[in-house]
Amino acid sequence: MKKIPGTLYHFGIASSKNNSLGINIWYRSELIFERTGILQEEIINILQKFFESKNLTIPRNRLSWVVKEELNELSPTSDITFIEGTVSEILGEIQKKPSENVKKIVLMGLSNAGKTCIYERVFEGKKPWELMQSTATKGIDYKKYEVGSVTKPMIWDLGGQQQYLDEYHGPLRKSIFQKASVLLYIIDASDSDRFENARVEFEWSVNQILSFNQSPIVNVFFHKIDLIHDKDALIPYLKNILSQNISYKINFYATSVFDESLFTAWSGIIRDISPKSIFINSILKTLKDQEGVKDALLIEKTTGLACGSTLDGSDEEIVIGMVSLLIVTCDKVTKNMKLQNFSEFRLKTSSNYLLLTDVTPDLMLVIILGSSAFTDNILKDIEEVGKEIAIQIRDLWND
């Protein structure tokens, strides 16, 4: 991207597949002109016409100098790998499979915020110590996951180094935000020197996603919360500065790779993007109304995420974390005792009783019972209702 000397305009040139070029012009930070499919020799005329329409006369030799500079930087290898090798390939993928339940999640944040670690922990089952050697993401990485039959998040992991941020604000802006369902903005809670910088980028990202989608889901993770001593003071402070200029709903989560918080946060996101979650929640609610039942969850077995839950607040964090870890561990560690082979198992703690029932090859129903349910009769009734509920949920998937 180059500034046109003596004006507040910038312009950028991008190459596309058939060797033609594209040109974009920004006024301050707003994209106001886009044209694709043009030849190199047409660029100066197009720019000159554009400025004439704005009553600005820019000498032709000055224009040809900046155009030459910009074209020099458009070295075929680097630009084609970054723009073509990532974004156009991803767009092709989305267009190929419009009917599938794929949800695009844009993962943004300043460099070193922890973005890449966040999905590797949850979706690739990496342990905290395996994440400590993470290297900076070059450009955009995209990852497609499946949360069983529930939903297919496609995560666009946008490397946060400054040179890439410039590209996102410029030529890649549209490709990044169009068709995005979720913005997930990561803030390193221990990096107070860059809070202001993060706030500015966050506001820009919210405005961008809103310009392409009327009802996106906007989430912020205050990440690396394990490094913070005074969480009770920091979290309200951060919430306040991030929402000061935004009237749209924002979901906030405090997260760390070292505990269960990421599983809880991602469970919330998966529920928000899963088309069946309203039905799942109402089915679980009927289960909760049963005598002796404290709460109920529907857990996806490979990730351990809760795609339905009647829990709220801090209880949710403990239970989802515990059950997720249990399930993921059983599945990964005890290879001979594959979780798929269980139809039911039970866990008893001093105050609770957990009943885990198989629902589908990828879903498990978890019923949490209070101590009052420990009598045989109540327990039997709950088991019966649990089985019926499992059938209802299975039917939801067969529809």
Binding site for ligand GTP (CB under 6 A): 109, 111-117, 131-132, 134, 136-137, 159-161, 223-224, 226-227, 256-258
104 contact choice in ligand GTP, Mg ion, none (CB below 5 to 8 Å, kind-dependent) = none
Specify the residue, 137 or 213, whose C-beta has the smaller distance to Mg ion: 137
Listed ranges 55-63, 112-120, 210-218, 334-342: which one lies at the site for Mg ion (CB under 5 A): 112-120
Print the SS3 string covering the chain.
CEECCCCCEEEEEEECCCCCEEEEEEECCEEEEEEEEECHHHHHHHHHHHHHHCCCCCCHHHHHHHHHHHHHHCCHHHHHHHHHHHHHHHHHHHHHCCCCCEEEEEEEECCCCCHHHHHHHHHCCCCHHHHCCCCCCCCEEEEECCECCCEEEEEEEECCCHHHHHHHHCCCHHHHHCCEEEEEEEEECCCHHHHHHHHHHHHHHHHHHHHHCCCCEEEEEEECHHHCCCHHHHHHHHHHHHHCCCCCCCEEEECCCCCCHHHHHHHHHHHHHCCCHHHHHHHHHHHHCCCCEEEEEEEECCCCCEEEECCCHHHHHHHHHHHHHHHHHHHHHCHHHCHHHCCEEEEECCCCEEEEEEEECCEEEEEEECHHHHCHHHHHHHHHHHHHHHHHHHHHHHC
235 contact choice in ligand GTP, Mg ion, none (CB below 5 to 8 Å, kind-dependent) = none
If binding is defined by CB under 5 A, does position 86 make contact with Mg ion? Answer: no
Specify the residue, 70 or 259, whose C-beta has the smaller distance to ligand GTP: 259
The size of the interface with Mg ion (CB under 5 A), counted in residues, is 3
> What's the min distance (Å) between Cβ of 112 and ligand GTP?
5
113 contact choice in Mg ion, ligand GTP, none (CB below 5 to 8 Å, kind-dependent) = ligand GTP
Specify the residue, 143 or 152, whose C-beta has the smaller distance to Mg ion: 143
> What's the min distance (Å) between Cβ of 85 and ligand GTP?
17
For residues 337-376, which are near Mg ion according to CB under 5 A? Answer: none
> What's the min distance (Å) between Cβ of 157 and ligand GTP?
7
If binding is defined by CB under 5 A, does position 137 make contact with Mg ion? Answer: yes
102 contact choice in ligand GTP, Mg ion, none (CB below 5 to 8 Å, kind-dependent) = none
- Contact residue for Mg ion among 15, 24, 86, 116 (CB under 5 A): 116
Give me the residues that bind Mg ion (CB under 5 A), please: 115-116, 137
